[in-house]
Amino acid sequence: MAGILFIISAPSGSGKSTLVNEVRKQLSGIEFSVSWTTRAPRGSEEDGREYHFTSRAEFERRIAAGEFMEHAEVFGNYYGTARASLDQARRDGHDLLLDIDVQGAAQVRASMPEAVSIFVLPPNPRVLRTRLRNRSRAEGVVNEAEVYRRLSEASREIENYHEYGYILVNDALDRAVAQLEAIVQAERFYRNDEPIAFRSRRVLEVAAGCLQANSQQRLKPVLEAFGILGPMGQGKMSFDGDLEDEDSEDESGEVSGATGSPDNKEDSNDH
């Protein structure tokens, strides 16, 4: 079986790490590439689990040696994906999933256009703000300047959605997990003629519904909310209302007024 390379990108706080973890629990034969980074570990992060943590000098040595499939500098730190992870997955006959930002994804697509690319969107800026604040709170401090910087960065990242083959709007965790599973199974079916044992027709329909070309109706309100679409074209993302007026959240982090379970506990993956 030829391994398939899956690229998944999303603004920080969109819940993609939770999606990846859930899908890996449900599907076998899919490996996850642990990225390298020069940033310091946060909270309970462990070397080799969330990231391979290294120094800037060592990272630059690896760049010069051509060891990275892609790399980028984000918020002052390097992030990169080692070529060795793809080589190992191919030797094992497994698929490989890369959790990388839009810069890294563009590099991978340029060299490997056969890769399957998936972009995960939060439903609106208010939900994303709540997730970012919850994550900051879990790390022991809520830095509002950092939250708003990431919100602004999210809008710029979302503008790249059209470069991806599949689109997921992560407003309900169970649905988004099912959609990501369907995409993996459908691509295995089409590329490797791998049978889908259960409800195959429905799986293919779900995956087809996530194709960018078939996602425009669901995408439109999200893009409008982030100021990417509007009556005047490129708009400006609005954060009207102060923090006291934002969607209320209970102790579990769920947001009232949003569909499903919007507080996917995204880890601190910035890349």
| CATH code, domain with 181 | 3.40.50.300
pLDDT over threshold 70, residue 255: no
pLDDT over threshold 80, residue 253: no
Q: What is the pLDDT of residue 147?
A: 85
**Which residues, listed in sequence order, are joined to residue 47 by a DSSP beta bridge?**
51
Residue 39 lies in a domain: no
Q: Where are the beta strands (DSSP E) in 16-151?
A: 30-32, 36-37, 52-53, 68-74, 77-82, 95-99, 116-121
Q: What is the pLDDT of residue 229?
A: 80
Tokens 């007024």 sit at which residue?
A: 257
Task: Give the model confidence (pLDDT) of 150-182 as tens digits.
Answer: 888 898 999 999 999 999 999 999 999 999 999
Task: Give the model confidence (pLDDT) of 210-227 as tens digits.
Answer: 999 999 999 999 999 999
Can you give the residue range of the structural domain that contains 20? 5-32+96-245
Residue 46 lies in a domain: no
Residue 261 lies in a domain: no
Q: What is the pLDDT of residue 195?
A: 79
Look at the chain and report how many structural domains it folds into. 1
Range from 29-38, 65-74, 191-200 carrying the lowest mean pLDDT: 191-200
Distinct helix (H) and strand (E) counts, the chain? 9, 9
Q: What is the pLDDT of residue 268?
A: 41
Q: What is the pLDDT of residue 145?
A: 83
Confidence of residue 1 (pLDDT cuts 50, 70, 90): low
Tokens 């009556």 sit at which residue?
A: 231
Residue 19 lies in a domain: yes
Q: What is the pLDDT of residue 177?
A: 96
Q: Across the chain, what does the average pLDDT equal?
A: 83
